[in-house]
Amino acid sequence: MKFATAVLLLLLSCAPSFAQALDVKTDATAKDDRSAQALFEDANGYLGRRYQEFNKKQLPYDARLEAQTRKEQQELAVKNATILKARSSLSKDDIYYLGMLHHLAGDADNALATMRLFLKSNPDGALAQAARNVVVLYSVKKGLLDEANKAVESYAHHKPQNADDRYRMEFLLADAYKRAKDYAAMMTHAKDMLAAAKEFGKTNKTEVFKRDEMLVKSAALLADAYVQSNQKAQGVKTLEDLRRMAFELPSGNLYKLATYRLALLDSSFDFDKLLEDVSALPQAPAPDIIASQWIDQTPVKLSDLRGKVVLLDFWAHWCGPCRITLPNLSRWQDTYKDKGLVVLGLTHYFGHGGQKPMTPGEELLYLRDFKKRNKLPYGIVVDETVANDYNYGVNSIPMSFLIDREGRLRYISPGASDEEIEALGKMIKKLVDE
């Protein structure tokens, strides 16, 4: 009797044992007395163990070796699943770990059937929620969208819940409905994706770039669903709201991605509209600066600079595009300092300078000399960590943030193109004249 057939018979019968349902076979593999969880963790940890071995041997990356290692993991999962199925009786948790072994092995039929069986008697708890993730994955792959929807609904009514898991399940459904051209259902799940992405951001403060990726992917899917439903204006608004959210977080990375998506959707969009409506921007003050060293600048907090217009420029001494912006930063500082402009260059230690390795102390000296040689008239802020980058969502440089006299973030400049430099210059003049 095949495993899937056995599960079907179990669902139709009164109450046979798990062992009967799984068509247990007794052979030599039953001598392995490790727990079901240990058998799963053995297979689940295989890649990590092998990669550690490769690193110790300093092996270069090899795609064929990676493929072979993944195949070995699947084979181990099949072996351990066979060991588990051969036992005379299986507990409820054993059924879950058997389903996870089938999942690792890429055995869609048995993974789906086993998790259905587990959930039939175990609707609550962390294992049940994880089982629903597996059910959604394979039911979507098989085109069983009604079953996937029911699993997501059940997930929403049980605890614990994880925003990352909810996001993945909603994405699978949104993408499936997109391929099916059911744009109403796609829209529903894209909205739930976006809600899960926002919740992920609230509970995972350090994973800012993963958060941004989740927000952009869900908003882009939602905007696409609107467009396909002849509601382009709503699609534009979705991405416009995402761009506004970049100021609230703040995140230069999200601003850059949202602006790009918005330009693709509507090339005629008025990108200055958000900047002109101050009431639409966040009223909370921008995140404060974290620093271990200040070069030619008295240590300050942003709250100390209220009444000033502050330009925070994220840069690095080795960055070519950053160096392109330096003359403009110097010119703006000299031109507008009497009107209250304060330019601060934010950076951190990178462990090198002048094409050679450097300690933090050596790099600090290098930065001081760099500032002097380039006649930079503004202060440089140096930190030992990348905390400022995370607080402002900076994953590419140069990137600048312009803060008004009230301490509100008013402009983000994510690059060093002529257009970006010109736009930033105009915005600086606008704020110092306010």
User: Among all chains, which residue has been given the structure tokens 């899960």?
Assistant: 196
Residue pair 170/193 in contact (Cβ under 8 Å)? The answer is yes
What backbone torsions phi and psi does residue 381 show, to the nearest 5 degrees? -110, 125
**Can you tell me the distance from the alpha carbon of 349 to that of 292, in angstroms, rounded to the nearest whole number?**
10
**Can you tell me the distance from the alpha carbon of 405 to that of 136, in angstroms, rounded to the nearest whole number?**
50
With 60 as the cut, is the pLDDT of residue 2 above it?
no
Query: For the chain, what are the domain ranges?
Result: 1-159, 162-282, 293-433
**Can you tell me the distance from the alpha carbon of 377 to that of 393, in angstroms, rounded to the nearest whole number?**
26
Q: pLDDT grade, residue 271 (50/70/90)?
A: confident
How would you class 290 by CB atoms within 10 Å of its CB: exposed for 0-12, middle for 13-18, buried for 19 or more? middle
Long-range contacts, stretch 66-74, CB < 8 angstroms, 24+ apart: 72/46, 73/43, 73/46, 73/47, 73/104, 74/104, 74/105, 74/106
| Choices 1.10.3470, 3.30.160, 1.10.101, 1.25.40: CATH for 1-159 | 1.25.40
Per-residue pLDDT averaged across 156-161, rounded? 96
Q: What is the pLDDT of residue 11?
A: 31
Q: What is the pLDDT of residue 83?
A: 96
Q: What percent of the chain has pLDDT over 90?
A: 87
**Integer distance in angstroms from the first to the last C-alpha of the chain?**
80
Q: What is the pLDDT of residue 310?
A: 98
pTM above 0.75, yes or no: yes
Quick: pLDDT tens for 12-33: 333 333 334 344 444 444 479 9
Q: pLDDT grade, residue 274 (50/70/90)?
A: low
Task: Determine the angle formed by the axes of helices 126-141 and 108-121, rounding to 10 degrees.
Answer: 140
- CATH H superfamily, domain 162-282: Tetratricopeptide repeat domain (1.25.40.10)
**Does 293-433 carry CATH code 3.40.30.10?**
yes
Asked if domains 162-282 and 293-433 share a fold, the reply is no
